[in-house]
Amino acid sequence: MQLLDADLVEVYASLFVQCWSQYAVQQRDGSYWRVGEPLTLPHIAAHLGGQWTLGTYLLDEDDRCSFAVFDADQADGLGQLVGLATELARSGIPTLLEASRRGGHLWVHLAEPTPACVVRAWLLPYACVYGVELYPKQDRLAPGGSGSLIRLPLGIHRRSRGWYPFVEMTSWGKLVLVGETVADCCLWVCQNVERIAVPDGIGFFDGDDGIAGAEVASGQDEGGDVSLVGHGAIAAWCRAQDIVEVIGRYVALNGRGVGSCPFKEHHYRGDLRPSFQVFGGQDPHWYCYTSRRAGNLFHFLCLYYGLSPQEGWEHLRRGALIV
């Protein structure tokens, strides 16, 4: 691989590195060794040049991050992330889409370093709706100073021995590479990245908010209080509902949970044959056989009412999501 211009490496580093006090090196089996030494620009240049592959920790010493990453490892992961990118764009959130060994990564760059707990409260509802992971995975650094780790873009994946480009969606709905080489992709990213400020009023609630069974997302702080953010609370709320009964208030369902799809954008000529089905049991979800889209109850209600996941989360917190 070719060596990149030093100025380009510096701009790349400003986009994809928040923690400079430590880094990790990927091994041949895909695992990482943590290096408790400062990361430098020559290290990053060597990563982009294919000499080794680095992982970066998302949180700095003050538990802040300057970007977040949605990670989809499924076979259709890129397709999931395209849908998520479209949803985020409707909410005014710009993204960068990166292919990976399995699926892809969707990057959200922030206008300034922001506490991880705020970033997670803002973006976790989107991850929940689309069934993907969100990095950072924690609100604060773990004991010893470690945190969420993700592979720096455009380096060689040591397990697959390939590198993975950034991609974009064309106007006719096709995913294309933004460049044929690492240098081309790096230059494109540095020229096209957009940063966004986390909206004011993003909140999370504490253990007294009363959602039974919600997962503890941030652990316990020094005072013993527990903070719960969107993903765990939404999952707990969905488990507490009867999805067939609730969706049956909005869609006429037969005994097998089949009815006409309520989402007109899924059907250009209307749902001529009922193609929408709701499943209960251990894996409660809905599925449209025409659009091949699925989701949980929270996702259904957001789509039905035209709410962004963040708006749906706020409605849920107020107890106003189901009418």
Residue 189 has pLDDT above 50, yes or no: yes
Residue 217 has pLDDT above 60, yes or no: no
- pLDDT score recorded for residue 202: 65
Residue 53 has pLDDT above 90, yes or no: yes
Tell me the domain boundaries of the chain.
6-196, 241-323
Alpha-carbon 135 to chain mean position: 7
Q: How far is CA 24 from CA 36, 68, 99, 291, in A?
A: 8, 18, 21, 41
CATH superfamily label, 241-323: Zinc finger, CHC2-typedomain (3.90.580.10)
pLDDT band for 122, please (50, 70, 90 cuts). Answer: confident
Please state, as a whole number, how many other Cβ atoms lie within 10 Å of the Cβ of residue 20. Answer: 14
Q: What is the CATH number of domain 6-196?
A: 3.90.920.20
Residue showing tokens 């997962």: 215
Nearest one of 113, 61, 127 to 295, comparing CA atoms: 127
pLDDT band for 278, please (50, 70, 90 cuts). Answer: very high
Highest mean pLDDT among 170-174, 193-197, 314-318: 193-197
- pLDDT score recorded for residue 76: 79
The residues facing 162 across adjacent strands are 157
- pLDDT score recorded for residue 11: 95
Average pLDDT over residues 191-201: 89
Q: Do domains 6-196 and 241-323 have the same CATH topology?
A: no
pLDDT band for 108, please (50, 70, 90 cuts). Answer: very high
| 35, 36, 37, 42 alpha-carbon torsion, rounded to 10° | 30
Average pLDDT over residues 54-69: 94
Average pLDDT over residues 95-103: 91
Could you give the 3-state DSSP secondary structure of residue 197? coil
Residue 215 has pLDDT above 60, yes or no: no
